[in-house]
């Protein structure tokens, strides 16, 4: 599909080539096994194949199946690289590290689950973990920088091009976890990423009902190896999950536009209120300042140069975090909200808030992560303000 075709058009038509029935909504295929051809002349022993079976040569669903293949076809167009799906975001990281088998990995704090996967490799291979800001000379050929941007849970961003230059100067590779900034917001390949990773459970699924992970690469040898590896890792995406995610990709761009706009409006309101030098008694600004310590998001991030605007020209993502003045404020806030559901994860159409310490041991206990949904942002603002008033006693 032409590079000039827009994101929503790709979401709706990149898989047209796979249409074999007249159904407008693609059918769900639940079979785990598929009949071989009735023509004996077309049957080739596996050992005699010059190339491994293609994803559309359906034999057994641990190798490939119609619904995941359709999902991957759309994502390959959206991500501008060959995409392969997995059973979860962490499964996709496991696959990437299995492919590259680095001796060292440079990583920031970010999502604690990624550190869990790295711990498994450390146990098995001796993989050494380095800080994200390590010197370039600490890296060697074949090592990996795993850059999550925007980063969990804050929603602030890193300069992908700078980390790509750092990695490549040493013969290392850059994996960018772009979960918080799906297609339409950010294209890591433009800035030098070697592999792009997503927890597709979030915005690709978009409705809090489908677990999956995704890798994309422009290296065709790597893609072939990832495809073969997945057969034996067994971490394939389920047929129903793939069907749900294809449904969700159709609305990816419009969902992200609304969610990102909502988040930026809420962040701007909070950020401005916090910085009022002399709030009037009883004002919204005073209410916010009584309970809130800080708000974190790429839209209010201070950076040197214009890399952030270039990297995320269409919005800064629907996730932000806030730090309350007291731990008990953070613990109580979700119970006082009506339109923010207190739950982990992110990316769904509904707004979620999480007292993050319930699932992440690495964070400040005063921190709450907010995943903004499709509600009217003013309703979310009023809901927050009422809850702040209850917490602050004013």
Q: What is the pLDDT of residues 302-357, one digit of tens each?
A: 999 999 999 999 999 999 999 999 999 999 999 999 999 999 999 999 999 999 99
The whole-number average pLDDT for the span 129-146 is 98
Q: Which residues of the chain does CATH 3.40.640.10 include?
A: 7-250
Supply the mean pLDDT for the chain: 96
Give the percent of the chain with pLDDT over 70.
99
Give the percent of the chain with pLDDT over 90.
92
The whole-number average pLDDT for the span 141-162 is 98
What is residue 393's predicted lDDT score, i.e. its pLDDT? 64
* Encoded tokens for 44: 């080739």
> Exposed (0-12), middle (13-18) or buried (19+): which is 4, by Cβ within 10 Å?
exposed
What is residue 255's predicted lDDT score, i.e. its pLDDT? 98
* Residues 6+ away with beta carbon under 8 Å from 210: 200, 201, 240, 241, 244, 245, 248
| In CATH, 7-250 is 3.40.50.150 | no
Residues 142 and 167 sit within 8 Å (Cβ to Cβ): no
Residue 171 has pLDDT above 60, yes or no: yes
What is residue 384's predicted lDDT score, i.e. its pLDDT? 98
In the beta sheet, which residues pair with residue 322? 295, 368
pLDDT confidence band for 32 (50 / 70 / 90): very high
Model pTM score: 0.95
Whole-number Å distance between alpha carbons of 82 and 195 = 10
pLDDT confidence band for 46 (50 / 70 / 90): confident
Whole-number Å distance between alpha carbons of 250 and 9 = 9
Q: Which residues of the chain does CATH 3.90.1150.10 include?
A: 253-392
What is residue 394's predicted lDDT score, i.e. its pLDDT? 53
Residue 53 has pLDDT above 90, yes or no: no
Residue 51 has pLDDT above 80, yes or no: no
Q: Which has more confidence, 175 or 1?
A: 175
The whole-number average pLDDT for the span 228-235 is 96
Whole-number Å distance between alpha carbons of 12 and 2 = 14
The whole-number average pLDDT for the span 259-266 is 98
| In CATH, 253-392 is 1.10.20.140 | no
User: What b/e readout covers 284-300, taking b as 16+ CB neighbours within 10 angstroms?
Assistant: bbbbbbbbbbbbbbbbb
In the beta sheet, which residues pair with residue 148? 177
């Amino acid at each position: 599909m032409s590079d000039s075709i827009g994101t929503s058009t790709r979401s709706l038509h990149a898989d047209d080539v796979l249409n074999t029935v007249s159904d407008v909504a693609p059918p769900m295929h639940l079979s785990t096994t598929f009949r071989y051809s009735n023509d004996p002349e077309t049957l080739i022993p596996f050992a005699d194949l010059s190339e491994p079976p293609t994803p559309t040569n359906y034999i057994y669903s641990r190798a490939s199946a119609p619904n995941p293949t359709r999902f991957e076809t759309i994502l390959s167009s959206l991500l501008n690289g060959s995409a392969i799906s997995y059973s979860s975001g962490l499964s996709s990281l496991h696959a990437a590290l299995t492919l590259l088998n680095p001796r060292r990995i440079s990583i920031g704090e970010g999502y604690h689950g990624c550190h869990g996967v790295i711990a498994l490799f450390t146990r098995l291979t001796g993989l050494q973990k380095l800080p994200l800001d390590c010197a370039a000379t600490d890296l060697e050929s074949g090592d990996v920088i795993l850059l999550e941007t925007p980063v969990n849970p804050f929603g602030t961003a890193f300069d992908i091009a700078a980390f790509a230059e750092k990695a490549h100067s040493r013969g290392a590779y850059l994996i960018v976890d772009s979960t918080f900034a799906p297609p339409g917001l950010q294209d890591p390949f433009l800035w030098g990423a070697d592999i792009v990773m997503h927890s597709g459970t979030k915005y690709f699924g978009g409705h809090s009902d489908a677990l999956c992970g995704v890798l994309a690469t422009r290296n065709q040898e790597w893609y072939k190896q990832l495809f073969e590896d997945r057969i034996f890792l067994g971490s394939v995406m389920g047929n129903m999950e793939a069907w749900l995610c294809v449904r969700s990709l159709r609305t990816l761009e419009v969902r992200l536009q609304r969610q990102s706009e909502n988040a930026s409006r809420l962040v701007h309101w909070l950020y401005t209120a916090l910085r009022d030098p002399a709030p009037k008694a009883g004002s919204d600004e005073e209410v916010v300042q009584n309970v809130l310590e800080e708000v974190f998001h790429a839209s209010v991030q201070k950076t040197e140069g214009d890399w952030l605007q270039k990297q995320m020209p269409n919005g800064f993502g629907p996730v932000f975090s806030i730090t309350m003045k007291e731990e008990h404020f953070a613990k109580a806030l979700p119970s006082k909200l009506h339109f923010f559901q207190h739950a982990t994860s992110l990316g769904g159409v509904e707004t979620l808030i999480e007292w993050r310490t319930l699932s992440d041991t690495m964070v400040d206990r005063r921190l709450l992560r907010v995943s903004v949904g499709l509600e009217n942002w003013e309703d979310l603002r009023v809901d927050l303000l009422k809850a702040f008033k209850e917490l602050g006693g004013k």
